[in-house]
Amino acid sequence: MRTGDQVVQDLPWRWRVQGKIFLIGGLGYMFDAWDVALNGFLTPLVGTEFGLSAGGKGLVATANLIGMAVGAVAWGTVADRIGRKRAFSITLLLFAFFSVLAALSPNIEVFLALRFLAGVGLGGCIPVDYAIVSEFSPRRQRGRVLSAMDGWWPIGTTLAGASATLLLPVSGNWRWMLVLMILPALLLFWARRGVPESPLYLVRKGREAEARLVINDLVARTGAKPEPYRIPPPVVEDTRGRGLFAAVDQLRRVWTFNPRITGVAWALFVSVMLVYYAALSWMPSILRAQGFGEIAAFGSTTLMNALGVLGVAIAILLVDRVGRKRIIAVAGPLTAITLVIFSLVLGSAGAAVAAIAAFGLFSLVVIPVMYAYVSELYPTELRASGFGWASSASRAVTGFAPLLFGSVLWPVLGLPLTFALLGVLVVAAVLFMLFAAPETRGRELDRITTEAEPAAPVLEVNP
């Protein structure tokens, strides 16, 4: 007799069932993208209003990204300890609250503190959203579904760029850029209240009655043939950490589970996201320094973000056909190479914009596949924490990247060498992944690291 989690992972895909979870989870991810991309537009505007140096401008993005690093760890731990549903609902509410206050900041110190706190709230969106969406998704479509989650990223970054460009002539423009995100974030918070708890989480926790209610409802609403199934005994967890020590205890468990897999996850996240965030945070400033007008610089960065939609589409088409590892191995280095080319052709506006567009395309091929891959590598009881700690590691490193980029790397090394060094890190992480971690295509969650099994056939998604 099969287990309840196996039944869930073999259900047919239905947009009105699993698709609803995908849409609600993805919209939260969109706000993460919007807020991160907004850092690039806030940096020159806030810097001008408060008279900041280049290093001070770097703090605008750093404060927010470090807050997200803290949030990814905290909320990943909460989601694995007390459930996805609670964490799923609260993260956006905290983000909206502190974003409103940040828009009212009287000085740079208050602004940085509030952007940090907004980041703590929003930082939980990616690990929690990916955990809950992956656990509701059928395994045959899971790669495409999780890669499609990143389709919300270019939507969010494009909205950030479009709103920033449109609000540029308005007095107090950067304050209105923050306020604009609040209402849709609150509406999404309300929508998330109706999302059920993850059935895989309930199964692993041994909450049989609740698990059967959710599983039976999914079977009925997807039109699958009912079958008897069993709920296995709960996974015995070492949860000695409490309060502030819970996150540290989850970190210990994440590394104890499989050091090679965690090493691969961290290496991929840190190297790929370091390249991405360095460009995203400083692209408007780089273009302005090269002589682009403010609107042209903002518009070119918006184009870079918009091309990411095509990148996500390519990832969705390929992820279940060629596998996660091959896509990451090719698209990751190409992302860094396009930035090197961009830095070499900055004298030609047309060539520079084309290179920016290529960067936007390749970066949003590798990132969605990387997110899908890492979320699949961990068992349910560690999925949000494993993803959260990898995300936090990248946020912590990339949080200081805008500061170092503007005050040390760009002025001292120059753009070509800076981007080339970042590319070397990506290549090293890719090589580590190829030899140290398994392919996850078509495998059942919670059985990824067991003895190799044949990949499930790829089936078409039914409406």
pLDDT tens-digit map of 362-392:
998 999 899 889 988 988 888 888 888 888 7
From first CA to last CA, the distance across the chain in angstroms is 29
HEC profile of 388-427? HHHHHHHHHHHHHHHHHHHHHHHHHHCHHHHHHHHHHHHH
pLDDT score, position 401: 65
pLDDT tens column, 335-350: 999 989 988 887 787 8
Q: Band the pLDDT of 394: cuts 50, 70, 90.
A: confident
pLDDT tens-place string over residues 233-274:
887 655 555 545 666 777 888 898 899 999 999 999 999 988
- Residues 249, 251, 392: CA angle, nearest 5 degrees: 130
Q: Nearest Cα to 94, choosing from 175, 21, 185? A: 185
Confidence band of 314 (pLDDT split at 50, 70, 90): very high
Amino acid type, 155: I
Q: What are phi and psi of 230, to 5 degrees?
A: -115, 155
pLDDT at 111: 93
For residue 136 the two structure tokens come to 């509701």
In this predicted structure, the answer to whether residue 308 has a pLDDT above a threshold of 60 is yes
**pLDDT value for 334:** 94
Domains of the chain: 4-234+244-436 (1.20.1250.20)
Angle at 148 between CA 147 and CA 152, to 5 degrees: 115
Contact between residue 68 and residue 39 where contact means Cβ atoms under 8 Å apart: no
Q: In this structure, what DSSP letter does residue 3 have?
A: B
Identify the sign of the CA torsion 27, 33, 36, 37: negative
Residue 3 phi, psi dihedral angles, 5° rounding: -90, 165
* Nearest to 278, CA basis, from 43, 449, 105, 49: 43
